Structure 1
Amino acid sequence: MKEMNDDRIVMTLDAGGTNFVFSALQGGKEIIQPIVLDSNSDNLDSCLQTIITGFRSVKKELLPKIPVAISFAFPGPADYKNGIIGDLPNFPSFRGGIALGPMLKEIFNIPTLINNDGDLFAYGEAVAGFLPRINGLLAEHKIEREYKNLIGITLGTGFGAGVVINHQICLGDNSAAGEIWLTRNYIDPSSIAEESVSIRGIKRVYSRISGDDTDKSPLDIYEIAKGRQGGDKEAALQAFKELAQVMAESLANAITLLDAPVVIGGGVSGAAEFIIPELIAHFQSTINDQGKRLPRLIADVFNVEDPATLKKFLNSDTKYIEVPFSKKTVSYTQKKYVPIGISHLGASNAISLGAYTLALDYLDKKNLYASALQEHV
């Protein structure tokens, strides 16, 4: 990708409720040692001063080089197009709306972009992660298929998502695209999907089935499921199974609407061996339509992290058929294939790459518009 050879520098921030991690990217790579500061999220003035101090420190580290933009993610819904952060659980001092983007733009005098972490994760994977990996494999095997869309899923404290359409990030008209966490819970329709597809969901199910009320982490439960740590193995397996069942139905709806590959990242994606097979089983099930059984998905979904399944995915079904009343032939892909896999970049790196690429894209479009306007005048 051209972004990986770009000389422009973008300052970034990984914003957590506890810590802020400031850095800078050039050519898609981190070029300074990250600067970590306490977020002070419960005190507005202290929090804003921390953000300003962090970016000033990054700018000083970059000298004599000059950054061209600031671009970073903030967790949760906000008015991202206008750079305004609203009511976020991890940032209680921001209630009522804080014009964070405009503040930073005025102080540093460079464009400032803020977006949802799920959106930037998907964009980073589309630019330099999952999509290039899959399309590269297809080209290597001389298969005439190219994927341009992507659903990016993050599994951790919550159930996040981002959407890329035709290689462009889809933010929605209200900066609220990809809010998959709010879809209906397949197992408990009275609640949202995130109640099951999250760290708290895994812990709750394990505790409920095992009767163990000690505060075990998802890693502990994973180790129990693997048989490498003492505990209730069946309860651990069921905890990941319930997560996968709820996730699968939400994803099935997303795939049906978007017809796009899926990449999964975040801490809980480390348990993919227990999650993805359950997703595939759900995708391969049927749904009732007035007595008729229809496939849950039109497309076949392939777990590309499994070597045997990847081999099937790379087995081209393209054939050439004749054009009626002509001697020409055209290629015909008979089946619909959707790949699903885990992030090889890691969620944090993918988010940073997404933020970096989005800033460059914004600057390029801004310059193109200015040039076109100048020519018109």
Structure 2
Amino acid sequence: MKSEEDPRTVMTLDAGGTNFKFSAVRGNQLAIEPFSVLSNAHDLETCLTTLINGFKEVRDSLTEPPAAISFAFPGPCDYSRGIIGDLHNLPCFRGGVALGPMLEEIFGIPTFINNDGDLFVYGEAIAGLLPHVNVLLERSGSPKRYKNLFGVTLGTGFGGGITRDGQLFSGDNICAAEVWILSNKLDPGMPAEEGGCIRAVQKAYAEKAGIPFGEAPEPKDIFEIGNGNHPGNQQAAIAAFDRLGEVVGDAMANALSLVDGLAVIGGGVSGAWPLFLPSIIDELNSDFHKPTGEPVRRLTQQAFNLEDLAQLETFLKGDTREITIPGTDRTLQYDPMPRIGVGMSRLGTSEAVAIGAYAFALNQLNTL
């Protein structure tokens, strides 16, 4: 049974360092209105009480008993056993906290925990960007279809995830797609996260505007400054998002050279995509150079901005042609253009995480 047809309900959570966003999903649709509460990350007992009360509120809002709990939590974690490790954004978790087993004991239902970046991309692969693009390709008459999706989230940190042929790829240590620790093109001694998150935009703006970091506006305000809709240093704002796009594009190029699929972007900074997505595409389509100076494409595939109507049209059209099977009068459609598309979340980050958590829980329940 496909997840969109499944009648079971799963309680979900998107856990961040500041807020916990609770919800529930049934048949790939939100079963309740999501709500957020402060995480209370300063104190473990208070934080755990917040989690328990949040799920109790979700359960009490449902018309039928939930089949499971499934949610996103930052790493490092032993996700398969539900044990939370030493977290940077949730400092009250130290030394290993058996969060999953605790919730199973309290609610009496299976509990599954996974990485937020992984579940975001899983949700977009099931009901977001991946099926959206394949529908557009079908409508355009193209024989091209995509099975793989790589994605990143740009927010407090820099996260990522991979799905391969409809399945979440986690790795043997559940450490796959840890894009935050990829190299940083512009600051090689730092991880890519320091160029692909909220503080990276603020730091770059402060440096370009000649102000202390503590006086830098929030990224949404820097975006409005860059668009000319808010007072501030417009050139510094544009440069800050260009820098983010270059660092993120470099990290995405390294991943996409291995994954070879579509790419989706979400997270708290994603609303500013008009100022950074063109830089990402430029980086993906950039060149390396041989010792002779001869250029070599950074990616074998050509990258397209799926939010740009002209680029989307070219992406959908491709280079489709008809070829004849030798020795017959039969023809086949052939599209020899290797290409990838990069687009923004079609579900919204939190809803994508919820749907990904739902599908992950159903897969696990079906194996019990």
Counterpart for residue 259 of structure 2:
258
Alpha-carbon deviation of 1:319? 2.9
- Whole-angstrom CA distance in 1 between matches of 2:32 and 2:283: 44
Report if the CA contact (8 A) 1:35-1:58 is conserved: no
Letter in 1 for 2:161: G
Alpha-carbon deviation of 1:325? 5.2
Alpha-carbon deviation of 1:302? 1.0
Report if the CA contact (8 A) 1:87-1:97 is conserved: yes
- Whole-angstrom CA distance in 2 between matches of 1:39 and 1:276: 31
Alpha-carbon deviation of 1:94? 1.2
Percentage of identical aligned residues:
48
- Whole-angstrom CA distance in 1 between matches of 2:305 and 2:7: 36
- Whole-angstrom CA distance in 2 between matches of 1:19 and 1:244: 26
Counterpart for residue 359 of structure 1:
361
Letter in 2 for 1:41: A
- Whole-angstrom CA distance in 2 between matches of 1:249 and 1:145: 26
- Whole-angstrom CA distance in 2 between matches of 1:199 and 1:21: 19
CA separation of 1:175 and 1:305: change in aligned 2, threshold 3 A: same
Counterpart for residue 230 of structure 2:
229
| 1:83-116: CA deviation from partner (whole Å, max 9, x where unpaired) | 1110112222211111111222233222211011
| 1:163-183: CA deviation from partner (whole Å, max 9, x where unpaired) | 111111111111111111111
Counterpart for residue 12 of structure 1:
12
Q: Which aligned pairs between 1:148-227 and structure 2 lie closer than 5 A? A: 148-213=147-212, 214-227=215-228
Letter in 2 for 1:17: G
Counterpart for residue 97 of structure 2:
98
Counterpart for residue 371 of structure 1:
none
- Whole-angstrom CA distance in 1 between matches of 2:280 and 2:35: 38
Letter in 1 for 2:203: R
CA separation of 1:341 and 1:34: change in aligned 2, threshold 3 A: closer
Counterpart for residue 310 of structure 1:
312
Indicate yes or no: 2:50 matched with 1:50.
Answer: yes
Report if the CA contact (8 A) 1:303-1:309 is conserved: yes
- Whole-angstrom CA distance in 2 between matches of 1:282 and 1:228: 27
RMSD: 1.8
Counterpart for residue 374 of structure 1:
none
Letter in 2 for 1:252: A
Q: Could you tell me the TM-score, scaled by structure 2's length?
A: 0.94
Counterpart for residue 120 of structure 2:
121
Q: Which aligned pairs between 1:63-102 and structure 2 lie closer than 5 A? A: 63=63, 65-102=64-101
CA separation of 1:33 and 1:270: change in aligned 2, threshold 3 A: closer
Counterpart for residue 110 of structure 1:
109
Letter in 2 for 1:172: G
Letter in 2 for 1:307: L
SS at match of 2:269: helix
- Whole-angstrom CA distance in 2 between matches of 1:239 and 1:58: 40
| 1:233-278: CA deviation from partner (whole Å, max 9, x where unpaired) | 1111110111111111111111111101111111211121121211
SS at match of 2:248: helix
- Whole-angstrom CA distance in 2 between matches of 1:141 and 1:15: 39
Counterpart for residue 277 of structure 1:
278
Letter in 1 for 2:41: S
Alpha-carbon deviation of 1:32? 2.5
- Whole-angstrom CA distance in 2 between matches of 1:166 and 1:365: 19
Alpha-carbon deviation of 1:204? 0.8
* 5+ residue gaps, structure 2: none
The answer to which of 155-164 and 275-284 deviates more is: 275-284
Alpha-carbon deviation of 1:80? 1.0
CA separation of 1:242 and 1:34: change in aligned 2, threshold 3 A: closer
- Whole-angstrom CA distance in 1 between matches of 2:19 and 2:280: 33
Alpha-carbon deviation of 1:219? 1.4
SS at match of 1:94: coil
- Whole-angstrom CA distance in 2 between matches of 1:314 and 1:161: 25
Counterpart for residue 239 of structure 1:
240
- Whole-angstrom CA distance in 1 between matches of 2:77 and 2:142: 41
- Whole-angstrom CA distance in 1 between matches of 2:36 and 2:260: 39
Alpha-carbon deviation of 1:230? 1.8
The answer to which of 117-126 and 332-341 deviates more is: 332-341
Alpha-carbon deviation of 1:119? 0.5
SS at match of 2:84: coil
SS at match of 2:92: helix
CA separation of 1:37 and 1:197: change in aligned 2, threshold 3 A: closer
- Whole-angstrom CA distance in 2 between matches of 1:224 and 1:54: 37
Alpha-carbon deviation of 1:44? 1.8
* 5+ residue gaps, structure 1: 367-377
CA separation of 1:22 and 1:284: change in aligned 2, threshold 3 A: closer
Report if the CA contact (8 A) 2:24-2:354 is conserved: no
Letter in 2 for 1:142: G
Counterpart for residue 301 of structure 2:
299
- Whole-angstrom CA distance in 2 between matches of 1:45 and 1:167: 38
- Whole-angstrom CA distance in 2 between matches of 1:150 and 1:268: 20
SS at match of 2:97: coil
Counterpart for residue 30 of structure 2:
30
- Whole-angstrom CA distance in 2 between matches of 1:43 and 1:320: 65
CA separation of 1:19 and 1:188: change in aligned 2, threshold 3 A: closer
